[in-house]
Structure 1
Amino acid sequence: MKHPDEILFYVGTYGPADQPSIHLCALNIKDGEMRRIGGTAGIGNPSYITLDSRQQVLYAVSEKGSGEAAAFSVDAETMELAPLGSRATEGADPCYVSVSQDGKHVLVSNYSGGNINAYPVNPDGSLGEMTSNVRHQGAGVRPDRQEGPHPHSINPEPGSEWIMVCDLGLDRIMLYRLEAGKLVLQREVSLPEGAGPRHLAFHPDGKRVYCINELNNTVTVFTYDAVAGTLKALQHVPTLPEHYVPGSDDTAADIHVSPCGRFLYASNRGYDSVALFHIDSETGLLTAADWQITGGRTPRNFAICQGWLLAANQGSDNITSFRIDAESGRLIPTGNELGISSPVCIAPVN
């Protein structure tokens, strides 16, 4: 099934439950060609997916009015998925799922519901009954997008007990800790009004956190103290080039730091591109270096895979591959694309 020169990855989509909506695919690391191996049905709109640290269980959210979080066992030989059941999120449109650092809890954020959840992980990887359901309160300055709370991601910080939640509706990053299965709020960090914080990326050195802000198309650079759990904003950088005049459909989406810690990438919808920033090794500050058109529309999510970047273009039903130049960080288009209906999340298999 898997060739020696291939990397496997799963793709979450906006697809109906009666059709394959999570796809298993492969990337050829010699030329960037991709292929679809198989798919899994039984879950509608799995818009965000993640694997546990042992690559034995895949967790997905079902983004719909009555949200659900689901677990699937991963076959060690074929990498096929088998359902392990699901749990209600008691909130609408869950859009992010993660696993706590100790692997004992699965965490979910519900965009429209305005709430976040924690579930214990059973020995077989399935989800136990919900142990925490926290609903945010308040609103932001934009009535069209910030009429209420909209937690967009829930991010366990590598190597610590801190859990950071980006709330797009409140312009805040909320810092939680898990205490006996309960998500307990410790402090809040404010972003500029109308920023719309969406996703986070952690620098490998553990001293910097980068936040992509959906509504004002910026990246905010924070210094981070993992002991105290404090974030201090240092810089706000546009994700769009100076010459570009943004329209109403221009929103920032995903963000990742390269494993080497030298490059940061951020995706733009509308301009349909991935921005490259160079990271100063001393300060962590960003310098814009390049913008690469993704070869599709609405790159909601992308992933870095062993020197490659894969962009999920939701609006054009395709995934495109790029080689990452090791010296400059620039993305080199391969010309290869994989047709997948409404791809919105890529989870590489390590």
Structure 2
Amino acid sequence: MERSDQVLFFVGTYSPEGEEALFLCTLNLAGGEMRTLEGTKGIENPSYLALNGAGTILYAVSEKDAGEIHAYSVDPGTKALTSLGGQSTGGGSPCYVSISQKEDYIFVSNYSGGNVNVFPVNSDGSLQEMSSQVRHTGQGVREDRQDAPHPHSIIPDSSGERVMVCDLGLDQIIFYRMEGGLLTTHREVNLPPGSGPRHLALHPSGKWVYSINELNNTVTVFTNDETFGDLNILQHIPTLPEHYIAGSDDTAADIHISSCGRFLYASNRGHDSIVLFTIDDSSGLLTAADWQTSGGRNPRNFAIFNNIMLVANQSSGTITSFIIDADNGRLIPTGNELGVSAPVCIKFL
């Protein structure tokens, strides 16, 4: 099925359980053309996905009031998905899933539930019952978006001994120690009131961590203290152009770093763009270099494979492809798009 000029990717969407919601697609690396190969039903709103290192197991949250996390085996030949069952997340609107470094645990954050979970992984990739749950308390300064805790992402730190949780409602990044399947609070890192931290990107060097802050449209740069499990703020930088007047629809969404470590990208909903920052190789500080239209409305998640970026435009129902200029990091539209209903997450195989 796989060819040297093709790469496969999965797409998660906002779709009802009775409709196809998870899609297997293919990308032509030369020209950026995309095709849908297969759709999978049986899960509602699989809004975030994670693949194990071998690409044999896919995990998908089901973002609904009674949240769930599902596991799927990926067929070695056809790459078709077979359900391995799921577990309740004990909270509403799970919106992020990640995998421990040893791939023996799955982490989930529940946006409206205000809690984060740990699930042990069986040898076949299926999930055991929840081994740990932590519920956040408090609120932020924005009554419309921060009336309660809203954990938006949970990822292992570079040491593998801790996980970091971005809580949009509390303006905090919370470190938890991970021991024997249990989470215990380690440290809280405070961001400016009304920031709304959403996702994190770890620099390949391990020196710096970057957070995309949804509510005030900024990226925060941190030095990464791996030994003590701490982040120290170096910089806040806007994701929107200097003279652009942001409206209520303008919210930042996703953040990724190129494999070379020279470029950082973030998505702007409302402005409907991907911003390019250059990363100073000695300080980790960012400089805004360019804004490229996403080719659709409300670019949510995006993903990078070699010199190609795919952007999931949720509201326009399209995935657009771009070539990344190796010299300056700028995005060059390929002119190709793939129609997918409400795409919100892309994961390359």
State the TM-score bracket (shorter-chain normalisation): over 0.9
Q: Alpha-carbon deviation of 1:183?
A: 1.0
- After superposition, what is the alpha-carbon deviation per residue over 1:13-62, rounded to whole angstroms, capped at 9, x for unaligned? 00111111000001101100111111111100000001011211000000
Report the CA distance between 1:175 and its aligned residue: 0.4
- Asked whether the equivalents of residues 312 and 320 of structure 2 are also in contact (C-alpha less than 8 Å), the reply is yes
Query: Unpaired runs of 5+ in structure 1?
Result: none
Supply the AA of the counterpart residue of 1:103: E
Q: Which whole-Å CA distance do the structure 2 matches of 1:57 and 1:158 have between them? A: 22
- 1:92-171 pair list within 5 angstroms: 92-171=92-171
Aligned to 1:341: 341
| Cα deviation digits, residues 234-282 of structure 1 (max 9, x gap) | 0000000012110000000000010000000000000000000000000
Matched, 1:20 2:54: no
Write the letter of the residue equivalent to 2:163: I
Query: Kindly, what percent of the aligned residue pairs are identical?
Result: 63
Q: Deviations over 1:76-96 (max 9, x none)?
A: 111110000000011000000
**1:247 and 2:247 matched:** yes
Kindly state the Cα deviation for residue 2 of structure 1 after the two structures are TM-superposed. 3.1
Q: Distance in 2 between matches of 1:347 and 1:300?
A: 13
Equivalent position SS for 1:194: coil
Secondary structure in 2 aligned to 1:316? Answer: coil
Is the CA contact (8 Å cut-off) linking 1:151 and 1:166 kept in structure 2? yes
Residue type at the aligned position of 1:187: R
1:158 Cα offset (Å): 3.5
Deviation (angstroms), 1:3: 3.2
What is the alpha-carbon distance in structure 2 between the residues aligned to residue 25 and residue 157 of structure 1? 30
* 1:17 and 1:44 in contact (8 A); partners too: yes
Matches within 5 A, 1:161-240: 161-240=161-240
* Structure 2 contact 10–346 (Cα < 8 Å) conserved: yes
Task: Compute the displacement of 1:159 (Å).
Answer: 4.4
CA RMSD of aligned residues (A): 0.7
Q: Does the alignment pair 1:11 with 2:11?
A: yes
Query: Contact 1:300–1:345 at 8 Å: present in 2 too?
Result: yes
Work out whether residues 221 and 284 of structure 1, in 8 Å CA contact, stay in contact via their aligned partners in 2.
Answer: yes
Aligned pair count?
349
Deviation at 1:4, TM superposition (A): 2.7
Give the 3-state SS of the residue equivalent to 1:70 in structure 2: strand
Distance in 1 (alpha carbons) for counterparts of 2:160 and 2:51: 19
> Cα deviations across residues 148-194 of structure 1 (Å, max 9, x unaligned)?
00000001124432210000000000001211111111000000000
Q: Are the aligned partners of 1:160 and 1:226 in contact in 2 as well (CA < 8 Å)?
A: no
- Compute the displacement of 1:300 (Å): 0.7
Contact in 1 for aligned 2:65/2:93 (Cα 8 Å) = yes
In the TM superposition, 1:273-312 aligns within 5 A as 273-312=273-312
**Counterpart residue type for residue 287 of structure 2:** T
In structure 1, what is the equivalent of residue 73 of structure 2? 73
Q: Structure 2 unaligned runs (5+)?
A: none
Q: Which amino acid aligns with 1:73?
A: S
| Equivalent position amino acid for 1:19 in 2 | E
Distance in 1 separating the partners of 2:188 and 2:303: 28
For the pair 1:61 / 2:61, whether they are aligned, the reply is: yes
* Distance of 1:9 and 1:183 partners within structure 2: 32
CA contact (8 A) 2:100 2:160 kept: no
Deviation per CA, 1:133-160: give whole Å up to 9, x if none.
1100000000100000000000112443
SS in 1 for 2:292: strand
Which letter maps to 1:254? D
Letter in 1 for 2:230: T
Letter in 1 for 2:40: T
> Structure 1: which 4+ aligned runs deviate by more than 4 Å?
none
Amino acid of the residue matched to residue 327 of structure 2? E
Contact map agreement 2:49 2:347 (CA 8 A) in 1: yes
Q: Distance in 2 between matches of 1:163 and 1:9?
A: 26
Report the Cα distance in structure 1 between the residues aligned to 2:159 and 2:327, rounded to whole angstroms.
28
Instruction: Note if contact 2:94-2:108 (Cα within 8 Å) is conserved in structure 1.
Output: yes
Letter in 2 for 1:297: R
Distance 2:18 2:9 in 1: 22
Name the TM-score, length of structure 2 as normaliser. Answer: 0.99
Secondary structure of 2:315's match? helix
What letter is aligned with 1:318? T
